[in-house]
C-alpha cells in the first residue's frame, strides 16, 4: 500500500479500473481535437523518471475514488512535497508506485511489459 498525507488525511493510492481509465485518458494525447487514449503506456516511464507532472496526474487519478481525493493543484503539490520528503526524491517515489502497481492484477502486465523493453 502506498499513501500520501495531505491536509492531515492519509490518502491511499488505488489502481482499480476507474483509476486506470482516468490515467489512460489524462496521459493520452489529442490529435486535431480528438482525444486519444493509450496514455497508460506513458505512465511507467514517467514514474521511473520522477516526472512531476506525470506523478501529479497519477496521484489525481489514483486517489479519485478515495474518501479524500486529490483534486486541487494545492493538494497535489502538497502530496508531491510529502512524497519527496518521505522517499527522498521523485524518482524513488515513482519506483515505489511501480512496485505497488506490480502487485495488482490490473497493472501487472503493464509493469512486466515495460520491464522487458
- Please write the tens of the pLDDT for every residue from 92-116: 999 999 999 999 999 899 898 887 7
Q: What is the per-residue pLDDT for 22? A: 84
**Mean pLDDT of the region 48-68:** 92
What is the pLDDT at residue 30? 60
Query: Given this model, what pLDDT does residue 37 score?
Result: 54
More confident residue, 24 or 45: 45
pLDDT for residue 91 is more than 70: yes
pTM of the predicted model over 0.75: yes
- C-alpha closest to that of 48 among 38, 58, 37: 58
Amino acid at each position: 500500500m502506498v499513501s500520501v498525507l495531505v491536509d492531515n488525511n492519509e490518502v491511499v493510492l488505488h489502481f482499480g479500473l476507474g483509476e486506470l481509465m482516468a490515467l489512460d485518458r489524462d496521459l493520452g494525447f489529442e490529435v486535431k481535437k480528438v482525444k486519444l487514449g493509450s496514455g497508460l503506456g506513458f505512465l511507467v516511464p514517467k514514474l521511473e523518471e520522477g516526472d512531476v507532472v506525470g506523478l501529479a496526474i497519477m496521484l489525481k487519478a489514483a486517489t479519485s475514488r478515495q474518501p479524500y481525493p486529490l483534486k486541487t493543484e494545492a493538494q497535489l503539490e502538497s502530496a508531491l512535497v510529502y512524497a519527496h520528503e518521505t522517499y527522498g526524491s521523485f524518482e524513488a517515489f515513482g519506483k515505489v508506485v511501480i512496485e505497488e502497481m506490480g502487485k495488482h492484477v490490473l497493472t501487472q502486465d503493464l509493469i512486466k511489459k515495460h520491464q522487458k523493453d
